[in-house]
Each structure stands twice: as C-alpha cells, then as structure tokens.
Amino acid sequence: MRIIDDMWRASKPNKKLMSGSDAVAEAVKMAKVDVISAYPITPQTHIIEKLASMCSAGELDATYINVESEHSAMAALIGAATAGARTFTATASQGLALMHELLHWAGNGRVPVVMAVVNRALGPGWNIWTDQTDSLSQRDTGWVQLYCNNAQDVFDHTLMAFPLAYTAHVPVMVVLDAYLLSHTYEPIDIPKQETVDAYLEEMPEMLYSIDFDNPASIWQLTMPEDYSRLRRQLQKNMNDVTFAYQSESGIFARHFGRKHALTEVYTLTEDKIQHKNLLITTGTITNTARAYIDASKRFDTAVCNLRMLRPFMPQGLAGWAAKAENVIVIDRNLSPGLGGIWAQEVKAWLSPYKRESSSAYTQPVQIYSYIAGMGGTDVTEETIERILNHVETDGECVKSYFVEDI
Amino acid sequence: MSLISKGHIACQGCVALSTARLVLDVMGPKTVVVIPACCISVCNGAYPSAAFGVPVVNCAFETAAITAAGIRAGLDKRGDEDAHVITLAGDGGTYDIGLQALSGAAERNDNIIYICYDNEAYMNTGIQRSSSTPIEAITMTTPKATPKKESKKDILSIMAAHRVPYIASATIAYPKDFRKKLEKAKEIEGFRFLLAFSPCPTGWKFDPKYGIKMAKLAVNAGIFPLIEIENGEVTWTREPKKGKRTESAEEYMRLQGRFDYE
C-alpha cells in the first residue's frame, strides 16, 4: 500500500467535476483510439457528442464515422479492428438490441472493441430511464461487461477496458446507469496523459488479420469440428478474463493508485465476514445500499457489489454467503417469467455451497431475489429497508419479488 | 496468375466466381475483399482453406458496405492508403438487407468499391425471390403457379440518387468493357458502385455452358444495360442490338427454366 500511496501523491491528481458521460469520453480520448463509429441514442448521446467535438478540435486524432444505425456502428468497428485499429463506440437500450447480431460477431470473431453502454429501459412504452435489461440480455454474446458505481469507476474502467480486451482478445462493455451516472456530475481524478500513456504501453499489441504479405480469409465457412474448437477457445479465454481483470487491476493501481475488485464488501463492522444479511447489488444501487447501512447503523448487514458479468466468477462471494443467514439480491432488470438476472447468476454460482453453522444440520445458502427500479423508478434507502424487513417477515427464497408488491 | 486458386467450391459454370476472378485480376494483390453472406462466401471454401489469394473479411449479411468502410478507416490509420477495399456482395445483400448500410456508405462517400454480383435471387439459400428478381420469374418463394408479381428494383437509379463519383454496370460476357470500368473505378476516390450481371445456371435453370451467352443475350435485348453514371450523366458503353432486341429477349427467356410455366 505504501508504494501505491507514494505513487498517488507523486501523480498529483487533478480533480475535475465531470458527468459519467464526460468521464467515458475523457478516458477514450486519453486511450488514443483510432476509429470511433457511433449513432445517437438517449442517454448516451453526450458521450459521442463530446468525442465528436474532441476529434473536431484536434484533441483526439481518431477517424469518426457517423453511421446510419447502431448495427452499422458495430460493423464499422469490427472492420476497422481487422486492420489493427483501436476502436470505440457507445450505445444504449434499443441501439444495443439492434446491435445484437454484431455483438455475437465481435464476440465470436474475437474483436477487442470497447463500448460504453448506458443502461436504459427497452420499449415499448418508450422509456429513457435506467434499467439493466438491455445489457444483461446480451449476456451470451461473448462480451465482458463491467458494471460501474460512480463516475470515477466509469473513467477507470473505460481505460482498463482496452488492455483487458487486448489481453483476452474479447470485446469489453463498460456499463453505467442512465442519468444516475451518465448525467450526474462528480469530482473525479483525471490523470496526466503521460501516466495514461505509460499505463497503456504495458498492454499487449493488437493482433490483426489483414496482412497483404500473408493473405488470409477470416470468419469464413467453418465446419462443425473447427467451429467447436473456436467455441472451446472462446470459453477458455473468457474464463481467463477473471484473472486478467485482477492482474489488470493491479497494473492499474500501480499507475493510478486506485484498485478495483470483482467483488467488494462494505460493512460497518471490523468483521468483514460474518453478517446476518448479505445484500448483493450492482451499479448505483450499491451506493444507495451503502448509504442506508451508514444512516441506519445496520451492523448486521453487509453490501457486496458485483463488477462483472461474463465471466461470472465473483471471488470471495461464496465465503461471505455461506456465513450469512440471508443472501439478498437486488435486481434493476427483469427476465420475464424468471425474475432478477443477477439473482439467477448468484443462485447458480452458490448452488454447490451450504451454509456454515455450528449445528450438524446444514442447509443451502438462503438466496432472496428482489426487483427494484424498473424503468428508472427510484431505489431509495427506504426501498432497501423495506426489502430487509420483507426478508425477515414474509420473504421466500424461491420467488422473485417486485418491491411494489411487498 | 489468378488470385483465385483451383479448389473453390462454386457450382459448375458459376458466372459470379468468374466475375470475382476478373475483378481481382484488375484490382491486384493489395486488395481487401469484404464478403457478406452470399454464394461467394461459400465458393471461397471452408476454414482453414481458402481459394482467394488476397485478405478476405467475411461479414454479417447486411454489413458489407459499412464493414468495408471500417476496414478503409483502419487501413488508412496504419498507412495502407494505397490498398483497395472492395465488396463482393450478392443482390440480396445489396438490394434488400444491405441497402441501409449501402446507402449510408454512399452518402458519406466512403472510399470503397462496392461490387454487387447480381444473380437475381437468393441463390446461396436455394433460390428465393429478392427485390432484384425480375417480374414473372419462378423461385422457391414465388412458385410456378404464382410467379413474382413485381418488377426488378432499379438499384442503379437508387445509387445515382446518392450522387456518388462513379457508378457502372458490367458483365464478364464483355470483359474488355468490365476491365475498363474497373480500371476507371480504381483511379477514382470515394464511393464507387459496380453492378455485375451474373446469370446463375443453378437458380435460373439453364445449361451451365450458357452463362456467358445468357449475359450477352440480356445485354443485346436491353434487359441488362451496360452503362456508366458520372456526375449525373448516363453513358451507354454498349447499346442493345438494333433490330435484334426481341429475338435476343426471346432466346434469353427460352434458354432458362425460371420463365417456364409448363
């Protein structure tokens, strides 16, 4: 820690008041991308407008392709990346859904595109507010998804996304809540360009396909055995992303003094392990849950933030969950007919684990699922309290509850 | 030596593949070929073999034009400005599903050569109607009892409305004309569009030896015009045969099975 602290002071952080959208654009500029291609959609438009003005002012030497759809935005970047370009785009909601086919293409094609996704509800009815169903329903496309809690997180993960994508040869999504992150201004540390340059210098070189001396056909007709081999390779590399993130987070800390984790537990007690309730949250709901614990002095409750979906290997979660009486997952998303998507992931992850108790009788970890904040409805400290009360009184593990119904 | 080797898996008498060969002869080895879902993507062969001797990027069905534009941006960034980026897309990927991205690339005047080999239906999926299929043609989705009711979409006029620097139609039945147009397209900056008429023995049900003959008859009948469009000016590079148009049209129809309603 000492080294990190010294580095931190030496780097003389330059705090700036910035929205989450500006933080994305700033990080993309500092990462010196080669090609940007984008299409407007609320609420991510600030990101691509800011990048357009940076390109226009010559602050960023990137080719900016204004396309006629998000589908084409992703296709353009896939093309540019085959020639070795560092690429970026941003989208949300319907735009992300329209891209779906090409998300598979980038994932299966092993194209290290970086994209910011501002979580917005899907229509109909038209709704521009936050909801994670857009990004979570892209779960099986072969993209790494990094969920952010605040503007600093957004900046840091946008930067980290590039080396992560290049190391694992997979595309990476940086995910932020609409308005609560994209449009909210926070003071954040913006490093010097030299620091970012030094950080990105450690990143592996981009592998590219177009080589006129050794011409090859890529993404062509592929017979079953070869296709299966490609899928096995993708699965292996995706699994490795967990470790790649941890090692990347270490390199990031060495350069910038901040360390990020796949899982982070927040609690009021010295004992970080033993709690009655373990609340599992993502995005800005994590901040609300932490604030609630502070304000209500809930010594019996810990908040665990999840960072990444695919791969989903939340380090440490099983240990904390096994010691908790109640594991409670709050989802701002819906898989209709099932319930919360993070809850489903957590249940699958924890299925081999039993509760640790003093009695000889052991039972499975008790996992409760709550859906809150659909289409941007407010999730407040009162919401968190209501959920905890419901767990104590009427909550059943097999169900997924809408907070409006409890 | 041809840049497309033996061992490709095209049908016997495939005009589209001969078209690709002629195109690469003129374009040369420093060319990236973008191929969406279409016959040519299959003709190239299965991984890890490939008949094409230049870099080939296969892309999603509706993305040929924009994938090519993205590659162009990437190549320019790394200093390969002298390389050519072309597409070889079928009529389905051009007239139908790829039209939106094609229009976008044309509107931005992206520096690529978009080549559509037009065999007038979805042949790769087994002969289904496209908006390029001519009126009264039989396909698997416009069967004999109810052949296609609509006329072929006029893609050349659609591209002309985008006011791109160069548009031409061609066919390997007239290789000198085709080569001249390609040479010209090569020298022009910006968006260039080439429509290559490619009779399909499998889909049109004609003897594979008649591919070139079919294309000649279509040109002579005035069914497929050989033109160039520059600055809004249309130039015919080969006029239909005077006094022989009806005769050519009749023979053209008679030699193929897609107009045979017996």
> Three-state secondary structure along chain A?
CHHHHHHHHHCCCEEEEEEHHHHHHHHHHHCCCCEEEECCCCCCHHHHHHHHHHHHCCCCCCEEEECCCHHHHHHHHHHHHHCCCCEEEEECHHHHHHHHHHHHHHHHCCCCCEEEEEECCCCCCCCCCCCCHHHHCCHHHCCEEEECCCHHHHHHHHHHHHHHHHHHCCCEEEEEECCCCCCCEEEEEECCHHHHHHHHHCCCCCCCCCCCCCCCEECCECCHHHHHHHHHHHHHHHHHHHHHHHHHHHHHHHHHCCCCCCEEEECCCCCCCCCCEEEEECHHHHHHHHHHHHHHCCCCEEEEEECEECCCCCCCHHHHHHHCCEEEEEECCCECCCECHHHHHHHHHHCCCECCCCCCCCCECCEEEEECCHHHCCCCHHHHHHHHHHHHHCCCCCCEEEHHHC
- Mark yes or no for CB contact B50/A220 under 8 Å: yes
Task: Tell me the ipTM for this assembly.
Answer: 0.96
Residue of A nearest to B75 (CA): A83
Handedness of CA B176, B45, B208, B92 (dihedral sign): negative
B208: pLDDT strictly greater than 50: yes
B262: pLDDT strictly greater than 90: no
Contact A349, A318 (CB under 8 A): yes
Is the entire prediction scored with pTM above 0.90? Answer: yes
pLDDT at B89: 98
Rounded average pLDDT over A289-299? 96
Residue of B nearest to A87 (CA): B74
A10: pLDDT strictly greater than 80: no
pLDDT in tens, B148-199: 999 999 999 999 999 999 999 999 999 999 999 999 999 999 999 999 999 9
Residue type for position B34: V
Residue carrying the six token digits 């041809």: B2
pLDDT at A358: 56
- Mark yes or no for CB contact B44/A221 under 8 Å: yes
A403: pLDDT strictly greater than 60: yes
pLDDT at B246: 96
Q: What is the CATH number of domain A2-201+224-256?
A: 3.40.50.970
| Cα gap A315→A364, rounded to integer Å | 19
pLDDT at A1: 43
Residue type for position B70: G
Q: What is the CATH number of domain B15-259?
A: 3.40.50.970
Instruction: Give the number of other CB atoms < 10 A from CB of residue A260.
Output: 21
pLDDT at A5: 52
Rounded average pLDDT over A167-176? 96
Tokens of B195: 């429509």
Instruction: Give the number of other CB atoms < 10 A from CB of residue A305.
Output: 24
Instruction: Give the range among A2-6, A233-237, A305-309, B83-87 with minimum mean pLDDT.
Output: A2-6
For chain B, the structural domain boundaries read: 15-259
Residues of chain A with CATH 3.40.50.970: 2-201+224-256
pLDDT in tens, A318-338: 999 998 999 999 999 999 999
What are B's interface residues with A at a Cβ cutoff of 8 A? 29-30, 32, 34, 41-42, 44-48, 50, 52-60, 62-63, 66-78, 80, 83, 100-101, 103-104, 107-108
A172: pLDDT strictly greater than 90: yes
- Mark yes or no for CB contact A218/B56 under 8 Å: yes
Rounded average pLDDT over A372-379? 97
Q: Tell me how close the Cα of B104 comes to any Cα of chain A, in angstroms.
A: 6
pLDDT at A360: 52
A382: pLDDT strictly greater than 90: yes
Q: Is A178 left (phi over 0), alpha (psi -120 to 50) or beta?
A: beta
Does A32 reach chain B within 8 Å, measured CB to CB?
no
pLDDT at A136: 98
pLDDT at A203: 85
A119: pLDDT strictly greater than 90: yes
- Mark yes or no for CB contact A69/B68 under 8 Å: no
| Cα gap B237→A83, rounded to integer Å | 37
A9: pLDDT strictly greater than 70: no
Instruction: Give the number of other CB atoms < 10 A from CB of residue A40.
Output: 13
Max Cα distance, chain A (Å): 70
| Burial class of B218 by CB neighbour count within 10 A (0 to 12, 13 to 18, 19+) | buried
Residues of A in contact with B103 (CB under 8 A): 68
pLDDT at A13: 56
- Mark yes or no for CB contact B60/A76 under 8 Å: no
A3: pLDDT strictly greater than 50: yes
| Cα gap B111→B82, rounded to integer Å | 11
Q: How high does pLDDT run on average in chain B? A: 97
Handedness of CA B171, B174, B177, B182 (dihedral sign): positive
Determine phi and psi for B54, rounding to 5 degrees. -125, 165
pLDDT at A71: 98
Most B-contacting residue of A63, A221, A222, A226 (CB-CB within 10 A), to test interface: A221
Q: How high does pLDDT run on average in chain A? A: 93
Residue A11 confidence class, pLDDT cut points 50, 70, 90? low
Residue A124 confidence class, pLDDT cut points 50, 70, 90? very high
A206: pLDDT strictly greater than 80: no
Most B-contacting residue of A207, A217, A222 (CB-CB within 10 A), to test interface: A217
Rounded average pLDDT over A121-130? 97
Tokens of B168: 């031409």
pLDDT in tens, B221-259: 999 999 999 988 999 999 998 999 999 999 999 999 999
Q: Which CATH architecture has domain A263-405?
A: 3-Layer(aba) Sandwich (3.40)
- List the single residue in A35, A217, A226 with the smallest CB-CB distance to B50: A217
- Mark yes or no for CB contact B58/A217 under 8 Å: yes
pLDDT at B1: 74
Contact B229, B176 (CB under 8 A): no
Percentage of the residues of chain A whose pLDDT score is greater than 90: 88
Residues of A in contact with B58 (CB under 8 A): 217-220
pLDDT in tens, A48-90: 999 999 999 999 999 999 999 999 999 999 999 999 999 999 9
Helix axes A151-168, A20-30, angle to 10 degrees: 40
Instruction: Give the number of other CB atoms < 10 A from CB of residue B118.
Output: 26
Residues of chain A with CATH 3.40.50.920: 263-405
Most A-contacting residue of B63, B103, B112, B114 (CB-CB within 10 A), to test interface: B63
Rounded average pLDDT over A203-220? 89
